[in-house]
A and B are shown apart, each in its own frame.
Chain A
Amino acid sequence: SQTIHQWPATLVQPVGSPLSLECTVEGTSNPNLYWYRQAAGRGLQLLFYSVGIGQISSEVPQNLSASRPQDRQFILSSKKLLLSDSGFYLCAWSVTGNQPQHFGDGTRLSIL
């Protein structure tokens, strides 16, 4: 069966520090991969998605970036975190764009 791993579960970072969140999927090949951010009590904001290795679509211009170095690995990065980057970050995968998405357990990021 397919599984998705996202880590760390919780992260506290100072303003201006770098960020790297990792997401990996097991049990499937060539998945679509997604990064979302969710503010407290709010809906999901799509940040990036990828339909293949090296293919990244950016939805919201910001100081975050994403990379897909391997088929089932999706990384969210920042060179310098801002206070506004705080939130709950969720990674998800799907077989194709119109199919259900399967989510990881998320990373709660707090910026101090």
Chain B
Amino acid sequence: SQQGEEDPQALSIQEGENATMNCSYKTSINNLQWYRQNSGRGLVHLILIRSNEREKHSGRLRVTLDTSKKSSSLLITASRAADTASYFCARYTGTASKLTFGTGTRLQVTL
């Protein structure tokens, strides 16, 4: 079963606005990863944040991790129509060679 949820399930914003997606989980993690999926395509890795890190940046992406609250957030600044996609968080717990994916947030960026 899926561990954790993403919030919101869907988000609609206008181009230029910021988009924030949240990911909560229940068990301890070794690292947490964010992925993007365009409609009908495979997932693309965006950022990996380790359990001892609190924040990471990559271009217009900012990821935060709060292990005490068992939550992470992905911020996309100055969104573009091309950012329209589903975004998933995935947790690596260290107990097996696999990731556990969240349910995803569908982001729609309109002109």
Contact = CB atoms under 8 A, between A and B. Distances in A.
B77 interface: no
Nearest to B99: A101
A19 to B, nearest CB: 19
Report, as a range, how many residues of chain A touch the other chain. Answer: 20 to 34
A44 B101 contact: yes
Contact of B92 (A51, A97, A103): A97
Interface in A38-65: 41-44, 46, 49, 51, 57, 59
A46 B102 CA distance: 12
A49 B97 contact: yes
Contact of B97 (A32, A36, A42): A32
A97 B97 contact: yes
A84 B83 CA distance: 32
Given A97-B97, A97-B99, A98-B31, 16 more contacts: A6-B42, A34-B98, A43-B101, A44-B101, A46-B100, A51-B97, A57-B96, A59-B98, A90-B43, A92-B42, A96-B97, A97-B98, A98-B30, A101-B99, A106-B40, A108-B40
Interface of A: 6, 32, 34, 36, 41-44, 46, 49, 51, 57, 59, 88, 90, 92, 96-106, 108
Interface of B: 2, 30-31, 33, 40-45, 48, 88, 90, 92, 94, 96-104, 106
